[in-house]
Amino acid sequence: MEGRLRMIKGLGIDIAEISRVKQIYGRHPRFLEKILNADEIEVFNSLNTEKAKMTYLTGRFSVKEAFTKAMGTGLVGIGFHDLSVLNHPSGQPFIKTELFKGNIHVSISDTDELVITEVILEEEEK
């Protein structure tokens, strides 16, 4: 509704090394299924290069970590499959989850070595 105040409920930021995630995935291929749900795995499998796949996996891992920080819980009571990190046709990432009913803002940035993510949870003032 227009004119309603919105309040920041939580802010989470995470940074992850692509090489570290690649190393874990190389030793434990089931890491993929632990972190990504079916929709995310479909996107992962559609990517053409190993670099793109590892950046994608690292980004999804990092966003989910940032989300738990924004919720103020860490991974206590929240599983990686409790949320999906997908993209709008424009490329903008979004989180699909039942864990938070307000607006969720997501940013994912990467370099050759790192992925940095930010999640802001916003809800209407009561």
pLDDT score for 73: 78
d(CA 64, CA 74): 10
Render pLDDT for 69-107 as a digit per residue (tens, 0 to 9). 999 877 677 899 999 999 999 999 999 999 999 999 999
Residue 26's pLDDT is what? 95
Q: How far apart are the first and last CA of the chain?
A: 13
pLDDT digits (tens, 9 = 90+) for 6-44: 899 999 999 999 999 999 999 999 999 999 999 999 999
pTM (2 d.p.): 0.91
